[in-house]
Amino acid sequence: MKLQPGNHVLYIPNHANGDRNHPDCEEGFITSIKKLWGRKEFAWCRYWSRIDPTRLRTTSCSEMTPMQNLVKLEDGPAWLPFQCMNCNGSGFVSHYTYDGDDFVGAKDCPVCHGNGRLVVYRHDHLAYWPGGPFAGKLDGKYASELIEYETTKRTVKALAAPPA
């Protein structure tokens, strides 16, 4: 299967000879794929820190990786987007005066910073966008969003299938 941005991948260095359990393998995800010099495709990846598996090794830049050193891991995408539970996806919350009596207007939701959405990584850490600043941790969130994601995928497939 062709690799795509968003895929959860394992980097296998050449000296590991295809061994997925080699200690130098790195887990991460693809942020983009580009052709260089008009022909060879490379993937830009972010990798999880090996010291702390709940952190990304780099948060500000992706690392260029030859496509042939990557294999797709099948336990779900590296992140899943979900609707912000504080503003129900609108990105805004009502703003009241300090005594709480008078409605002033709408302001950016403090939980999602007005995006309306957040992403959850496989280790239940939240971020404002894939590879973006971390926004806390919510235990079990990835697993519950994965169920939602798989269900939606199945529903879309069923709807796309011709009637029997």
Q: Which residues bind Zn ion (CB under 5 A)?
A: 84, 86-87, 109, 111-112
Planar angle of CA 91, 118, 9, nearest 5 degrees: 155
- Is residue 95 within 8 A of residue 107, CB to CB? The reply is yes
Q: Which one, 26 or 145, has the nearer CB to Zn ion?
A: 145
Q: Closest distance between Zn ion and the C-beta of residue 85, in Å?
A: 8
Planar angle of CA 106, 131, 31, nearest 5 degrees: 125
Q: Which one, 53 or 110, has the nearer CB to Zn ion?
A: 110
Q: Which one, 46 or 125, has the nearer CB to Zn ion?
A: 125
Q: Which one, 83 or 151, has the nearer CB to Zn ion?
A: 83
Q: Closest distance between Zn ion and the C-beta of residue 86, in Å?
A: 4
Strand ranges (E), the chain: 8-11, 26-36, 40-47, 63-66, 70-72, 79-83, 92-96, 103-108, 117-121, 125-127, 134-137
Q: Closest distance between Zn ion and the C-beta of residue 101, in Å?
A: 24
Q: Closest distance between Zn ion and the C-beta of residue 105, in Å?
A: 16
